[in-house]
Structure 1
Amino acid sequence: MALWAIWLIVAGILLFLEMMTLTFYLLWLCIGAIVAAVIDVLLPGSLIAQVLIGSAVVIVLTIFTKRITRSFQKSRGFQDAVDALVGKHGVMLEDATAEAPGIVKVGNETWSAVSNDPVKKGETIVVISRGSSVLQVEKWGGNS
């Protein structure tokens, strides 16, 4: 199989994974793989050039688009889908404490969660804040 085809397969896999995570970082890797495929078509057999130029593209995209994505996120009306979880109710699937994260189901999604006070499996919680991948929750005493 031609190397450019392998680069395109890698790019397709990265694009698929990007659609699952929505982080933009895998998109930049995808674009770097596409550039490496183009370099292979233009300069066949130069794997080092493909890797170096593809990597340079990834680094440039990561550095220069950080400001753009940050300003987009600070723009009026933007709300991250994860930030929308704050205030929502869920059910604990595994016990959680401040030291040992548990698993919580909020809507149709499951998240790692910590709580200052121990929360047991099956208890209803409310999301009070979020970290990068962990929700801060507390017991919810109201009726839904």
Structure 2
Amino acid sequence: MELWAIWLILAGVLLVVEMMTLTFYLLWIGIGAVVAAAVALFVPDSFVWQVLAGSVVVLVLTAFTKPLTRRFRTSRGFTDAVDELIGKQGTVVESIREGKPGIVKVGSETWSAVSDEQLAKGDAVIVVERGSALLKVKKWRGDV
């Protein structure tokens, strides 16, 4: 199989996975793979040039779009769906101990969570803060 076809297959797989994650990082890598495929079509014997061209495209796209996405996220009216979890009630699915995260269910989603207090399976909790991958919760006592 020709190398340009392999690059295109890789680009297609990355673009499909990107549609499931919505992070833009795999999109840039997929576009870099398309550029590498184009280079492979015109310079078929130089794998190094293919990788270099694809890598440069990925780096440029990442460098130029990072400030744009940061500006968009901090603009007035933008709300991240995860931020809306703060103040919502959930249930502990896997117990939470000090220094060891557990799992909570908030709405229909499960999240890793930490707490300043020990929480047992089945305890009602309320989300007080969110990190990039963890929620911080406290025991819900009906006062919030």
What's the counterpart of residue 142 of structure 2?
142
Distance 1:94 1:33 in 2: 41
Q: Distance in 1 between matches of 2:93 and 2:120?
A: 8
1:65 maps to what in 2?
Answer: 65
- Segments of 5+ residues of structure 2 without an aligned counterpart are none
Counterpart of 1:57 in structure 2: which amino acid? V
Within 5 Å, give how 1:1-144 maps onto structure 2: 1-142=1-142
The number of equivalent residue pairs is 143
Amino acid paired to 1:88: K
| SS of aligned partner of 2:62 | helix
Q: How far apart are residue 136 of structure 1 and its match? A: 0.7
2:36 & 2:131 partners in 1: Cα distance?
A: 35
Displacement of 1:79: 0.8
Question: Aligned equivalents of 1:88 and 1:2: distance in 2?
Answer: 53
C-alpha distance in structure 2 between counterparts of 1:98 and 1:61, whole Å: 41
Q: SS in structure 2 opposite 1:62?
A: helix
Residue type matched to 2:96 in 1? A
- CA deviation string 1:28-76 (max 9, x = no partner): 1111111111111222232111100100111111111110000000111
Give the Cα–Cα distance (whole angstroms) in 2 for the partners of residues 49 and 92 of structure 1: 52
TM-aligned CA distance change 1:95 to 1:17, over 3 Å? same
Q: Report which stretch shifted further, 112-121 or 6-15.
A: 6-15
**TM score, norm. by length of structure 2:** 0.91
The TM-score with structure 1 as length reference comes to 0.91
Name the CA distance, whole Å, in 2 between partners of 1:70 and 1:92: 33
| Partner secondary structure for residue 94 of structure 2 | coil
* Cα-Cα RMSD: 1.6
Q: How much has 1:125 moved relative to structure 2?
A: 1.3
Question: In structure 2, what is the Cα distance between the partners aligned to 1:114 and 1:47?
Answer: 47
Measure the CA separation in 2 of the matches of 1:142 and 1:91. Answer: 13
- Give 1:75's aligned amino acid: S
Residue type at the aligned position of 2:10: V
Within 1, Cα distance between the matches of 2:24 and 2:87? 27
Q: CA deviation at 1:109?
A: 1.7
The Cα of 1:2 is off from its aligned counterpart by 1.9
